[in-house]
Structure 1
Amino acid sequence: MADRTVQGDGAEGIRTFPFPVDLSVLGVGMRVGPMKPERTWHAEAPPGRVHRIEFHVVMLFDDGPVRHMIDFTEYEAGAGDLLWIRPGQIHRFSDTSAYRGTVLTMQPGFLPRATVEATGLYRYDLPPLLHPDEAQRAALRSSLRQLRREYKDSTTLPLSLHTAVLRHSLSAFLLRLAHLAASAHDTARREADSAFTQFRDAVERGFATNHSVSAYADQLGCSRRTLVRAVRAATGETPKSFIDKRVVLEAKRLLAHTDLPVGRVGAAIGFPDAANFSKFFHQHTETTPAAFRAEMR
């Protein structure tokens, strides 16, 4: 799950750290191995502080839950989940989570352009948190184990061939990972579209009496946060704004096409108090109900 959060670290205090080439085997542009307790990429990067990285990080967790902040969103990963952090993103480790599993880091430019495009390495629209199913997880773990074996084998091949083999093994892993990320993105969009459609239909049925976002979320059996994400993904606005626009539209229709008194118009769309209706209408249209009616006629 992902929750929007407000962090205390100011942007001015955020440090940026490059890929630690000196820590990788033979100085190649990648590292892969077990997550260590200190969970840091650089001696000057305290694990509990927000910092920015200039390289890719993929963490495959053996245990959970683990909470990790990426670009001011807090993610909770469980056993078998992956987190993919891209260059330029800021993140922060959780002091209360035990990071156990495998971590892969990769320097930009390590892979050729064709592979970068095929794997969507810089698609920042894709979700950082991934939940592979059992078959996908087994394939990813197998691919990652092969990559680890090749990474640690620094003696059987010349450096140039060793690096070439690493690039091929890394590409195989990232292609699987990219497919998982793209599938998760498409699924999330379909779910958001479905949730929005249900919300839109519910508003159409109930806007005259129900103006509450929480009430619609309860009616649809989802959290308020889930509803907010779905409506924002579909329309770019909040559920409250969507509801208010529908209420205002109905008010305009009644004012323009009926002779109902203003107070009756307000009552018909959920405002038994005429003053509250006038205030609401003016807030959203910058004119009064009476003035709007006069303009239409």
Structure 2
Amino acid sequence: MADRHPQHGDGRPGDGIRTFPFPVEPGAGGIGMRVGPLGTGRTWHPDAPLDRVHRIDFHVVMLFDDGPVHHMIDFAEYEATAGDLLWIRPGQVHRFSRADEYRGTVLAMQPGFLPRATVEATGLYRYDLPPLLRPDAPHLAGLRAALTHLRREYEDSATLPLSLHTAVLRHSLTAFLLRLAHLAASSAEAGRRTESTFTLFRDAVERDFATNHSVSAYADALGYSRRTLVRAVRAATGETPKGFIDKRVVLEAKRLLAHTELPIGRVGAAVGFPDPANFSKFFQLHTGQTPAGFRAELR
């Protein structure tokens, strides 16, 4: 288990959030990967409660058989349901939901298990790619078949010598990750093709969210009707413009609460709430926690 380091405020190792290593104990022959069923009571380490914010130093891919499941990755909340996948990369902060039941298959892979050429071909360290993936029926069938084959090979540790068993696992894992990487890249490309209306709105929110929370004000500034803006944002993200703005404000507030020592009142002012009471009410509405409670959970 990694030691707790002083907080550096950059959101990476050293910021006070615990980092846990690859769970080698029950692994087949000590190899650098594990695959098996999702379920309650599982953990990376006895001291790593999964429903607390933490980071891991290995890759995790979860394929869900049921849902919805709400999972936090890098302070963004993702809702996954049956047939969806979550891909968490080394160093990303995440937290399991206390309320949701996780059902499906989980793959954990230690960095260095695959050769460099495979790592590059599968985009293992493409942190710009989306963690939540929603394959269509043909892609999902291929991913399920590849993951089922990988799991079968992983569990059959008696047929082959360890060296051959490990080599077969590397090949099977590569086949699954190539499919997964293609899905992730395709999802990212589809996101880049969103309407220019949304792109302009997104850029405006990124620039002005700390001072402007009004959908109408954004629509007027961009020269669109409110109805046009609502349609474009919903098509690109599945949510309303107001929901998009609020999510960005909450993310910034979480970053400031987690990675700075600013008083809570100043955090609120920095994201457009000069009244601390209004900020606390807004934050609790969107997160289910007070700002003080959120900060305390990370410390």
Cα distance in 2 for partners of 1:227, 1:191 equals: 15
Give runs of aligned pairs for residues 193-272 of structure 1, distance below 5 A: 193=196, 195-196=198-199, 212-213=217-218, 216-220=225-229, 221=231, 222=233, 223-224=240-241
Aligned to 1:259: none
Alignment of 1:1-297 (within 5 A): 12-191=15-194, 193=196, 195-196=198-199, 212-213=217-218, 216-220=225-229, 221=231, 222=233, 223-224=240-241
Task: Say if 2:59 and 2:111, in contact at 8 Å, map to a contact too.
Answer: yes
TM-score by length of 2: 0.66
Gap runs ≥5 in structure 1: 1-10, 201-209, 230-297
**Contact 1:18–1:54, Cα closer than 8 Å, also in 2:** yes
Contact 1:61 1:82 in 2 (8 A): yes
Shift of 1:51: 0.4
For these two proteins, the number of residue pairs brought into alignment is 211
Q: What is residue 253 of structure 1 aligned with on the other side?
A: none
Please state how far the C-alpha of 1:25 moved relative to its aligned partner: 1.1
Q: Letter of the aligned partner of 1:115 in structure 2?
A: T
CA 1:194–1:226 in 2, change beyond 3 Å: closer, same or farther? farther
Match for 1:108: what amino acid? P
CA contact (8 A) 1:196 1:227 kept: no
Tell me if the contact between 2:39 and 2:101 (Cα under 8 Å) persists in the aligned partners.
no
Distance 1:116 1:218, change over 3 A: same
CA contact (8 A) 1:195 1:227 kept: no
Indicate the structure whose relative CO is greater, using CA pairs within 8 Å and at least 6 residues apart.
2
Q: Aligned with 1:52: secondary structure?
A: strand
CA distance in 2, matches of 1:199, 1:28: 44
Q: Does structure 2 retain, via aligned residues, the 8 Å contact 1:70–1:89?
A: yes
Sort the Cα spacing of 1:38 and 1:225 in 2 relative to 1 into closer, same or farther, 3 A: farther
Summarize the Cα distance change of 1:217–1:130 in structure 2 as closer, same or farther, 3 Å threshold. Answer: farther
Query: What residue ranges of structure 2 are gaps of 5+ in the alignment?
Result: 1-13, 204-214, 234-239, 247-299
The letter of the residue matching 2:78 is Y
Range with greater deviation from structure 2 (218-227 or 80-89): 218-227
**2:49 and 2:121 mapped to 1: Cα distance?**
34
Post-superposition shift, 1:133?
Answer: 0.3
Amino acid at match of 1:180: L
The aligned amino acid for 1:224 is: P
1:55–1:225: structure 2 CA closer, same or farther, 3 Å change rule? farther
- Percent identity, aligned pairs only, is 65
CA distance in structure 2 between the partners assigned to 1:158 and 1:32 by the alignment: 19
CA distance in 1, matches of 2:202, 2:117: 42
Contact kept? 2:85, 2:134, Cα under 8 Å: yes
Judge conservation of contact 1:38–1:47 (CA < 8 Å) in 2: no
| CA shift for structure 1 position 43 | 1.2
Counterpart amino acid of 2:135? Answer: P
In our comparison, the structure showing a higher alpha carbon Rg is 1
Deviations 1:66-94 (A, max 9, x none): 00000111111111000000001110000
